[in-house]
């Protein structure tokens, strides 16, 4: 972490913050443009899951944890992610 | 490192909270299946700009908390307090914007839990999260007081990490609520 800071002059957590902000603006733009449909919804969901994993891994510090406690946020994101994705897929398949 | 930062008890609590919200999210998505037009119509009445501001506020506050933890690990108590106060200010911004949204829906539009299924989910999900933001701010405020009194150091800062973990959970939950309730249609 320190060596990265020295090389780039910016902390890894700051890079993560900038990614999170960028992804948020992309998601918001999709909403404000009124884009809809299965593909758009799944892409927005995927962005949210990536953001969640970044928060868990870098902000909560789970990236440095070994063993069982490395996984709770990943698993938590995975299960509702699959359920939400399935519900939107089934909704689109019905229409 | 075998265990996550902070007190292990807070992580058990965090996991329990995450499970409850996961059930909520799934319930929202599967209920929407039978009410697609209703959900899409009323979702468009939500304030997208307020949701964006709130998302930026929570992400920024989470980042400030990360910086506070880094500061105390470097034994810099003053910076730790300053970063935590900045995080609290972002939390307060979230509450103010959210209350503005509620004021518009409840008072101007006359919306309630029984208005329709979409608003039932919108109100219960976001208000449940709103209460967690308040709880997180109380915890962070307690950590600020302790840090200002010099109770934490580079050698012992479990309290700061415990408060930080809870606050990041509040952020994590909103990162799913924002696209699910405001954007995906």
Domains of chain B (ranges, CATH numbers): 48-183 (1.20.120.80)
DSSP state of B150: T
pLDDT 10s digit of each residue in chain B, 185 long? 889 999 999 999 999 999 999 999 999 999 999 999 999 999 999 999 999 999 999 999 999 999 999 999 999 999 999 999 999 999 999 999 999 999 999 999 999 999 999 999 999 999 999 999 999 999 999 999 999 999 999 999 999 999 999 999 999 999 999 999 999 99
For residue A13, the enclosing domain spans: 2-94
Q: Which pLDDT band, with edges at 50, 70 and 90, does A94 fall under?
A: confident
ipTM rounded to 2 decimals:
0.95
To the nearest whole number, what is the mean pLDDT of chain A? 92
Interface of B with A in 136-175 (CB under 8 A): 161, 164-165, 168-169, 171-172, 175
- Residues A14/B146, Cβ–Cβ less than 8 Å: no
Whether residues B62 and A55 touch (CB distance < 8 A) is answered with yes
Residue ranges of E strands in chain A? none
What's the number of domains chain A is made of? 1
Contact B130, B21 (CB under 8 A): no
Is residue A3 pLDDT above 50, yes or no?
no
Q: Secondary structure of chain A: what % helix, strand, coil (to 5)? A: 85, 0, 15
Picking from B31, B174, B101, the residue whose alpha carbon sits closest to that of residue A55 is: B174
Cα–Cα separations (whole angstroms), residue A68 to A5, B144, B155, B163:
29, 31, 25, 22
B70 inside 8 A of chain A by CB: yes
């Amino acid at each position: 972490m320190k060596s990265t800071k020295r090389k780039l002059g910016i902390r890894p957590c700051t890079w993560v913050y900038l990614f999170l902000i960028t992804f948020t603006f992309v998601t918001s733009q999709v909403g404000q443009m009124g884009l809809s449909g299965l593909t758009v919804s799944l892409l927005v969901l995927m962005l949210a899951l990536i953001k969640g994993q970044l928060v868990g891994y870098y902000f909560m510090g789970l990236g440095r944890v070994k063993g069982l406690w490395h996984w709770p946020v990943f698993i938590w994101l995975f299960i509702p992610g699959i359920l939400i994705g399935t519900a939107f897929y089934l909704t689109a398949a019905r229409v | 490192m075998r265990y996550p930062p902070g007190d292990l008890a807070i992580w058990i609590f965090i996991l329990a909270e995450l499970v409850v919200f996961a059930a909520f999210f799934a319930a929202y998505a599967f209920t929407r299946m039978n009410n697609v037009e209703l959900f899409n119509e009323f979702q468009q009445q939500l304030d997208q700009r307020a949701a964006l501001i709130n998302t930026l506020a929570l992400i920024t506050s989470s980042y400030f908390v990360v910086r506070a933890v880094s500061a105390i690990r470097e034994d810099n108590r003053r910076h730790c307090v300053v970063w935590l106060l900045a995080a609290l200010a972002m939390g307060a911004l979230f509450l103010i914007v959210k209350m503005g949204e509620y004021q518009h829906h409840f008072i101007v539009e006359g919306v309630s839990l029984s208005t329709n299924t979409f608003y039932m989910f919108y109100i219960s999900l976001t208000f449940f999260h709103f209460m967690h933001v308040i709880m997180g701010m109380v915890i962070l405020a307690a950590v600020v007081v302790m840090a200002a009194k010099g109770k934490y150091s580079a050698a012992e800062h479990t309290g700061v990490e415990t408060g930080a973990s809870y606050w990041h959970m509040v952020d994590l939950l909103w990162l799913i609520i924002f696209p699910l309730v405001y954007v995906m249609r």
